[in-house]
Chain A
């Protein structure tokens, strides 16, 4: 059995996330995104590569589609795939994603068709139709897609409604993370998942090598920059995306304003931002713990210091803070305000951490202030204002990725959604640190990894019964696995370890035309119809005897008339007081060790190679089974040094 991963997008790149995974015959498509950097065929994943029989359509070849969050590079191609390519099967996403995705798709469609005048890839109706097919899921809700396939969503941070998805078919299980954030910010929590037994984790790796600073540092820098600016009477422009960053920064400012008793107005430009706030207010359950905690007293998205902005306010005197879309100052309202405010050095403009080449934001980032920015052929702006670059990001950093993988401890890891050289470096780190196989497939490549497959076996009642009671063993081990002992002068002695062997005593038996069965060790002989063989040891050897008078000097209490066997019994009882010795007429018995006086001249067990003895002796013949080897050795060596009285 194997898990096949066909990477249709986001393989060694960022954009059009799409991975088709086949587990035990079930085929799932994770994300169906589009690439924003291309306008040709490359903008969509190459769906024709999805394995299917000639007559099959996508609906029958895919069990389901799972969308992790509403960003276009994760959902952009969905209407195209369902309405144009004809996939009619189930689609799963979280409730907030289902609510917000149509807005994003419609917004994008408008930009493409209305502004750039491109041919439309899908219509508004397509979006509506596509969304009708979507099944919304809740966090940690296990959804039985069909008889064999289970999926479950886990909180991923990143944006409102983002989720990681767990999928399980039979015994094979995997997690697809989508984009996630391992540290909570003001409005969203950190990713949260259970420890699961996984064969595979497919994780994003946007910041495969970046190590990010503490969030407190970036918050302080941002607040300081804004505060300094407004304290000097300047205006602050915060160009931002409608969802996510705007709320995060606004929450930060709103809190700060409250705390510091600042009375300077904060404005939200009209548009998506205000509408987005409505979603945040209703989807409190998907936000951070802090928001949830304070929700009982006040909805933190009801910003106390925010007022509505009107265009006439752009040139109103006095300081203010303004949130405006779009984030990279590529046009729209933020560009409008930028033109007005950039020439004044008391003003401040914040830039997001990443700006696409060609936008004003990108030009500002790469230039030094003061500078001149050409908006178009006719407009040139002297930028004299201060520029502050934000370092907020909703993606986890390299340490976060490592932490998640360490926590989940899957057997294999596949990295997607990142840049190749950085992914290679992370892959090396994962392999060396965790001793785990890691893959970084390119687009349209397939990775095949083995999956877990359990065999169902019957169990005998004796075995079952044995598993009811514990069966501890303590063993000492010198070193273990890859425990290297060079720096281990701390561990001088072998390490004591405890084991519970109750299951280890089971034995898996299989026969022709039989189900495999586990029986207990003790039953094995009986069930397999075999005979038991015991190994028996025997030895015949002389023991010295002395005459009476000689002995009497040594031992004043006479034991003259006692038979050899009884004399031996007395001596053994003295020396092996803890053992039970049974005495009969012919022999003595300790456990399986039996000793008797041997009168045969040619006893087959007689030891001939010993030193010749000249003294008088009596021969004892001993037998014992292998289990009592140690005991037998002790008794024999004791007997060899004995001197018995002659009868």
Chain B
């Protein structure tokens, strides 16, 4: 306390004396420095501090010496940092000081005072407004001050339109650091610039930044790469259709041209930027993995900068870009390159195939980190289902399995359990690799067994094959001893018990005694299944299977129906990001199915199916938050596993029930909707080309239509549910698919909304907030034609959409048809050239009313479709089932010796808008395929 007072008194004496103290004049810094501990000390009393503040403020008001303000300001700054409650007062004093300085040539004191002002977030000061900013910028001043100003551009209130001009101008500054600050400012601005209408301004920013890609200063080039990337993305965004792709390519190639920069930071930045490019032409992309320009890309040039003086960017500038990045000397660059590669590998199939070769080779890299990165990239690709592993690759991948590093081994295992092996040889190779791992690293056993179990489930037939080949090895040797300590035997047994889980009907292909052998390994196996199955459940599963015999499987289980508890899991239904967990829950579901239904088979199959469906319908809406947040693949995997689960029922019962078919269709629709949603709502995520999105949309729409038309007996809630799904699809399509006609689309939306309103009209059913919002927006839009804005407006309503639970009530009826043509390749139908060919078809129609318009569609070589109308009026039988034979005429068969005809039955959906190009005599509205395709072989009679 005494010390405090002394220091303060000393300072006051120095600063407030009638005459300036010589010590203060000669070295103000040394004179005032002792005050700093006083300010920073946490124990300083408030009165002392405020009197110090007063002294300093007073000093600021009357200061004349040039050095003094600097030290006073830095003391104030420290004071403001350590005592936020004084901040207000400090800013007031500093502001007054700054305003006093303003008319003079700007000095570093001014910058210093502004820096203090910026600390106080809620001062909207008149020293940080636009006129001040501009006046300091354009007055002669030190380069460092100007740079400081540009670096803090975000703290000033300047209109973006003014700021952009100022920043653009300063990209031409002779001082490199000012150029850099201007570029950084542009990057900051690109984020803020909401509506950029002016193409030429965008281009100006883009090209100005591109020019600085050839700056002599490393740091400027670094910022230039970032600026080119950000403004390039805006430029891409602002263009339409073909231009959009061209600009995206131009940006991609421009960034690629920087990956050979000599500065590591620039290279890293370039790859980081590459990862953000939304789309790129396949041929340009493929170029990044080869040094030679293909004939397709040789002549292509883009606007941009190739070299300091070359204003034309050849596509070949992209050549080898990724390889350069991946074999870079610096780990940072390799990491960025790997991430960029990952984005494109997921979005582009051909590229993925090429990239896998490269990634596999990277497993020889000397750095663990890089190897891990390569493996993670592959794992990522595998999760998106775009990792195509060839036999040659396996060698490298299995090499990683015996790697010294635990991380590498476990990453390799993660990949192995996700990939699909196409050949038995590959499967065997894989098995050998895993066994070698098991022998070398016993500590991995738990993980490894789990991997084996997984692989076994995914490749059931291969497992059966392998076990059969190796049966005698597993059998007890002459002495009656089982060689279970051998890693190979353990691995084989684990494979064996995984098999029945995936082969629905081939359960007998594994000798039941394998299960009893496996029981001896119970502890070890269940270690690998921690979190999925407990030991008891596994034991009962094994013991049951071991008594299982192909002759009378069901008899064994009868009478102990409830002996096995249904496997319940606490793990959440959402598969975790990490592959092992994901497939665990999938496996769990499968085990659940095997353990439980077999016990009750076949009596309770129907109940089982119903409860299964009920379960799924109950859970499915909880996937929506996942999709909403962009985790499509996780959701997809869960959906896929459910589908698999349900599919088993279709194999067992002869005719699947309408409910089952509906739920399967529903799962498929949600899966498609999820994928579409991700592509549309997360455009910066790795996305496909536009084409693929369109294909997805087509699939989704077809799926929705089938749901709408092929099932009868929906309650209004159910119909509402489906209509909402249709609305979501239409809105997504409006804003994301350029090829669709926006006005028709808009009309469709309104008509569906009308239908919804009609359904609800007068009933107690509540409209969802999504529909209410949509109605509001539609009213707002009215008959306006500004399609783009409308699309954005409508997209807003999607924020309100959530998938609700689908409730089953009443009985569903499935509209279906069956075609039987008694003909195959060996017994073709005959026809005479020049005459129409008659094709006898046995047709079964289910649940089709007499009023429906049913067409037989015959297609030859995907080209020409001929339609034959099926008049149902003359037929006997009820709506539930009609069976009749019909000879369909096929006109003008080709001159070939023999040919193949595809036939199917379609139902016209009369509530859809009529066909635009009406094929003469064909259906007027869209056809919904209700039968699936059948093939007819025809052979010409005579010469």
Interface residues of chain A, those whose CB is within 8 Å of chain B, are 182-184, 186, 189-190, 192-197, 211-212, 214-217, 219-220, 223-224, 251-252, 255-256, 258-261, 288-290, 293, 399, 403, 406-407, 409, 433-435, 465, 467-470, 472, 474, 476, 480-484, 487-500, 503
Contacts and interface: CB of A to CB of B under 8 A. Distances in A.
Interface string B272-312: 00000000000000000001100000001111001111111
Nearest to B371: A259
Contacts of A192: 262
A490 B309 contact: no
Interface in B143-178: 165-166, 168-174
A594 B201 CA distance: 39
B58 interface: no
A468 B367 CA distance: 51
A289 B330 CA distance: 6
A214 B139 contact: no
Nearest to A258: B404
Nearest 7 interchain pairs by C-beta: A468-B140, A472-B169, A184-B329, A216-B361, A500-B172, A496-B204, A211-B291
21 contacts: A197-B216, A216-B358, A216-B362, A260-B404, A289-B329, A289-B331, A406-B307, A407-B262, A409-B307, A434-B310, A435-B310, A470-B173, A472-B165, A474-B165, A483-B311, A484-B301, A487-B301, A490-B247, A494-B200, A495-B200, A496-B204
Interface string B461-491: 0000000000000000000000000000000
A495 B207 contact: yes
A301 to B, nearest CB: 13
B395 interface: yes
Nearest to B257: A406
B329 A288 contact: yes
A195 B260 contact: no
B216 A214 contact: no
Nearest to B168: A498
B200 A490 contact: no
A433 B306 CA distance: 9
A407 B308 CA distance: 9
B324 to A, nearest CB: 8
B262 A214 contact: no
B670 interface: no
B231 to A, nearest CB: 13
B250 interface: yes
Contact of A483 (B247, B303, B330): B303
B173 A224 contact: no
Contacts of A183: 324, 327
Contact of B201 (A251, A470, A496): A496
Interface in B330-386: 330-331, 358, 361-362, 364-367
Nearest to A291: B366
Nearest to B290: A211
Contact of B308 (A215, A409, A469): A409
A391 to B, nearest CB: 14
Contacts of B396: 220
Contact of A470 (B138, B214, B303, B331): B138
B199 interface: yes
A476 B200 contact: yes
Contacts of A290: 329, 366-367
Contacts of A433: 306-307, 310, 314
A462 to B, nearest CB: 12
A497 B208 CA distance: 7
A328 to B, nearest CB: 27
Contacts of B365: 216
Contacts of B292: 211
B710 to A, nearest CB: 46
Contact of B402 (A196, A261, A288): A261
A219 to B, nearest CB: 5
Interface of B: 137-141, 165-166, 168-174, 199-201, 203-204, 207-208, 214-216, 239, 243, 246-247, 250, 260-262, 291-292, 300-303, 306-312, 314, 319-320, 323-324, 326-331, 358, 361-362, 364-367, 395-396, 399, 402-405, 440
Nearest to A155: B262
Contact of B261 (A407, A467, A495): A407
Nearest to B330: A289
B224 to A, nearest CB: 12
B200 A488 contact: no
A498 B140 contact: no
A497 B314 CA distance: 22
A469 B312 contact: no
B591 to A, nearest CB: 35
A490 B240 CA distance: 10
A260 B398 CA distance: 11
Contacts of B399: 260
Nearest to B200: A496
Contact of B328 (A184, A211, A476): A184
Given A399-B291, A487-B300, A217 B199 contact: no
A434 B307 contact: yes
Given A470-B137, A500-B169, 16 more contacts: A182-B260, A214-B323, A216-B326, A219-B361, A220-B361, A261-B404, A290-B329, A293-B331, A409-B307, A409-B309, A468-B141, A469-B140, A470-B170, A474-B165, A483-B311, A500-B173
A196 B170 CA distance: 22
A610 B330 CA distance: 80
A138 to B, nearest CB: 18
Given A261-B440, A489-B243, A500-B173, A403 B307 contact: no
Contact of A259 (B137, B203, B243, B403): B403
Contacts of A223: 364
Contacts of A288: 329
Contacts of B261: 407
A217 B171 CA distance: 43
B204 A483 contact: no
Contacts of A469: 138-141
B119 to A, nearest CB: 29
Contacts of B314: 433
Nearest to A409: B308
Nearest to A186: B366
Nearest to A189: B329
B208 A498 contact: yes
B204 A495 contact: yes
Contact of A256 (B324, B328, B364, B440): B364
**Which interface residue of A189, A196, A403 has the most chain B CB atoms within 10 A?**
A403
A384 to B, nearest CB: 25
B311 A481 contact: yes
Contacts of B307: 406, 409, 433-434
B169 A482 contact: no
A252 B165 CA distance: 54
Nearest to A469: B140
B372 to A, nearest CB: 13
A399 B319 contact: yes
Contacts of B311: 480-483
A467 B329 CA distance: 42
A255 B405 CA distance: 12
B367 A193 contact: no
**Which interface residue of B138, B246, B330 has the most chain A CB atoms within 10 A?**
B330
Nearest to A499: B172
